[in-house]
Amino acid sequence: MRKILIVEDDDETASYVERGFVEQGYGVDRSADGREGLFLATDRAYDAIVLDRMLPGLDGMAVLKAARAAGVRTPILILSAMGALDERVRGLREGSDDYLVKPFAFAELHARVDALIRRGVVPDEATPSRLAVADLEIDLLSRKVTRSGRSIPLQPREFLMLEFLMRNAGRVVTRTMLLEGVWNYHFDPQTNVIDVHISRLRQKVDKDFEIPLIHTVRGSGYMLSPEG
């Protein structure tokens, strides 16, 4: 079972996150105090840590720094009400792996933690030059996409989106994750531009085939998977 540590002093938020992860089949430990959180983080093996920024005892940034200094390599996601861009950059610079701004939807948190855990499990071994899901295959070197042996021409940006989806195959990818992963921007576009990009990609990847691979996950984002 995947184990997650939640360091969050707001009981309401902590319960909400805990319930969510337990429902998804994770083991969850909770701590409402920075010092205790740091102790747990260094002492036990977790698959991921969700860390609030403002904590009693020891501030979230200090916990992050201390944990990294102590050699804790567990993926850490910072959860914070401080949403400004520079705060995010600071968090990432201090060694966090992702940064999510409160308020957030659990689906977003889940998708991000999931991506972090998976990245931790499959370390950057010899980067594969091909990715395949069902009959869809992409070649990362030649940037060629084929489905059932038929070549699908894609624009560069579409290729990046598909690659991003395939690397996270079977997992929910949220719109902001796509914007971050493919465009490297963190702001929230007012109009849902990502949906239109996805529907274009769908036109090319799914339209002429019997089984759709790109699915919309209601309220969260998208998932590329062989099963509906």
Per CB under 8 A, residues contacting another protein are: 83-86, 89, 92-93, 97-98, 101, 103, 115, 119, 124, 140, 156-157, 160, 163-164, 167-168, 177, 180-191, 193, 196-197, 199-200
SS3 state at 187: coil
The nearest distance, CB 127 to another protein, in angstroms, is: 8
Q: Which residues contact 122 (CB under 8 A, 6 or more apart)?
A: none
The residue to which tokens 């980067």 are assigned:
127
Least Å distance, CB 194 to another protein, is 8
Query: 3-state DSSP call for residue 6?
Result: strand
Residue 77 C-beta: closest distance to another protein, Å: 10
- Tokens coding 86: 């520079």
- Comparing CB distances to another protein, the nearer of 30 and 171 is 171
* Pick 128 or 149: Cβ nearer another protein: 128
Alpha-carbon distance 88 to 186, whole Å?
Answer: 9
> What is the smallest separation between the CB atom of 80 and another protein, expressed in angstroms?
13
- Give the CA radius of gyration of the chain: 19
| Contact indicator for 37, 55 with CB cutoff of 8 Å | yes
Residue placing its CB nearer to another protein in the complex, 31 or 96: 96
Q: How far is the CB of 15 from another protein (least distance, A)?
A: 18
41 or 182: whose CB is closer to another protein?
Answer: 182
User: 18 or 163, CB closer to another protein?
Assistant: 163
* 3-class secondary-structure state, position 106: helix
Length of the chain: 228
Give CA–CA dist 76/72, Å, rounded: 10
Report the C-alpha gap between 147 and 160 in whole angstroms. 16
The least distance separating another protein from the CB of residue 96, rounded to whole angstroms, comes to 10
Which is closer to another protein, CB of 86 or CB of 210? 86
- CA distances, 197 to each of 160, 175, 191, 192 (Å): 11, 11, 12, 9
